[in-house]
Structure 1
Amino acid sequence: MIASPSFAQVAAVAVGATTGAWLRWLAGLWLNSKWAGFPLGTLLVNCAGGLMIGGLLMWFERTPNELLRLLLVTGLLGGLTTFSSYSGESLILLQRGHWALALGHTAAHVLGSLACAAVGYNVVKALLPS
C-alpha cells in the first residue's frame, strides 16, 4: 500500500514544478527565436537540468533531506526539464557499473521521446482539418 503524501510534500513538489515550468517558459521566450529557430532555450534548460540533478544527487547522497529533494529534484527540475530525471537515473546506472543498461536507458529515452513527438505530431496533423 502506498502511503499518502503529507501536505508539505505535495506543496514542495507543486511549488518546485510551478517554478521550473515558469523558468522553462521564460528561457524559451528569451532564447528560442535568437538562433535561426533552433530551440536554444530548451537546450539550455535541458543541459542545466542535467547539470543540476548531478550536483543535487551528490548533495543529497551526503546530506539527505527528503522535502528539499522533492522541491528541487522532483518539482523544480521535473518542471524545468524532463531530461534531468532520466539523466540522473542514467548516471546512477553508470556509477553502479551497469554500462549497457545505462546506454540502453539513455537511448530509449532520447529515441522514445523523439518517436513519440513524431507520432503525436502526425496524429494531431491527421485529425485537424486541412
Structure 2
Amino acid sequence: MRWGLGMALNPLFPTLPLGTLAANLIGGLMIGFAMELLTRHAVLPPEVRLLVVTGFLGGLTTFSTFSAEVVTLLLRREWLWGSITIGGHVLGSLAMTIAGIAAMRAVYAWGATA
C-alpha cells in the first residue's frame, strides 16, 4: 500500500514526498482507531495490540523512509522543504491519531445512545 501511495502521489509534487506523508497520516488515523478499539476491549491479549498497532499499522507507517526523504532534502540544502516535511509528518501523524481516537469515541457514544 505504501509503495502504491508513493507511485500515485509523489509525481504530483516532486519536492515533497506525498506518498510517505499520506501513508503516515493514514497510519496515524488507523492507529488512533485501533488504540481506542483495543482499549475498550481490554480482554484481548496484549499480543493482539502489538500485532495490530506495531505489526500491521507499523508496517504501513514508516520512519525509515521518512528519515531518508528528509535527509535527502537536507543534503540538497532544501531547508524549508525539509522542515515542512518534518512538521507535516510529526504534527500530521499526531493530529490524525488524535482524530482516530476521537472518531472511535464518537462511534461508541453514538452506539450507546442508539
Task: Bin the TM-score by the shorter chain.
Answer: 0.3 to 0.5
Which structure would you say has the larger Rg? 1
Structure 1 or 2: more helix by fraction: 2
Higher relative contact order (CA 8 A, sep 6+): 2
